[in-house]
Amino acid sequence: MPQPFTLPALPYADDALVPVISARTIGFHYGKHHRTYVENLNRLVAGTDLESRPLEQIIAATAGRSDKAEVFNNAGQTWNHNFYWRSLNPKGGGRPKGELADRIAATFGSYEGFRKDFAKAAQAQFGSGWVWLVAEGDALKVVKTANAESPLADGQVPLLTVDVWEHAYYLDYQNRRADYVDAVLDRIADWDFAAANLAQREAATVHLTHA
């Protein structure tokens, strides 16, 4: 029987992010952790009214409900990982350009100001979680979430994320989370993906304003 959710193919080869992220880490992180979240989610929603809903609706319907915590955790982790892999690009890194760069400078004072806030949030996230660049209203923000939480629950629009669960970096960096986050931003962060998310969000806002 077809499953409602599938593990999406990576947008690059397993070894494409070397030396920032090794093929071995990708093998465990994507091939085992991410795959398990998808498989668990399919098992948990099978035969329920959630089975035919998109991930975003499942997350919204189960957030904060203790009786649906397992569904929420696996749906959230599936969505977060889908987004994380697209936040990375072997030809990425450097600095954002265009409208995104202007908005970052307006919000954080400079790209360096953004980097400082992003790194601080990554280090401040105790235990497992995520660090995000999001759009909220007319502003950009750096936020951190624990475990399977995401900015979606707070009405924020994710632009880019870095996974700071230990399984995302421990094989390559051990306990040096800061070095991992710096390497991602410097060498493989997909600023084009972030810019496209911002543009899509702005277009949707304009459409709603004129509807």
Residues 81-108 pLDDT 10s = 999 999 999 999 999 999 999 999 999 9
The pLDDT of residue 48 is above 60: yes
Q: What per-residue confidence (pLDDT) applies to 176?
A: 97
- Name the token pair of 121: 């949030």
Q: What per-residue confidence (pLDDT) applies to 29?
A: 98
- Name the token pair of 6: 């599938």
Q: Is the CATH code 3.55.40.20 the one for domain 98-210?
A: yes
Whose CA is closest to 160, among 76, 104, 78, 102? 104
Domain ranges of the chain: 23-86, 98-210
Distance CA(140)–CA(100), nearest Å, equals 9
The pLDDT of residue 12 is above 90: yes
Q: Is the CATH code 3.40.50.300 the one for domain 23-86?
A: no
Residues 32-47 pLDDT 10s = 999 999 999 999 999 9
The pLDDT of residue 160 is above 60: yes
Residues 175-202 pLDDT 10s = 999 999 999 999 999 999 999 999 988 7
Residues 50-92 pLDDT 10s = 998 999 999 999 998 999 999 999 999 999 999 999 999 999 9
Q: What per-residue confidence (pLDDT) applies to 121?
A: 97
Q: Which of the four pLDDT bands, split at 50, 70 and 90, describes residue 2?
A: low
Three-class DSSP category at 190 = coil
Q: What per-residue confidence (pLDDT) applies to 208?
A: 37
Q: What per-residue confidence (pLDDT) applies to 178?
A: 96
Residues 6+ apart with CB under 8 A from 171: 22, 24, 25, 28
Q: 20-26: long-range contacts (C-beta < 8 A, 24 or more apart)?
A: 20/172, 20/183, 20/184, 20/187, 20/188, 21/88, 21/169, 21/172, 21/184, 21/188, 22/171, 22/172, 24/171, 25/168, 25/169, 25/171, 25/172
Residues 6+ apart with CB under 8 A from 145: 129, 130, 132, 151
The pLDDT of residue 205 is above 70: no
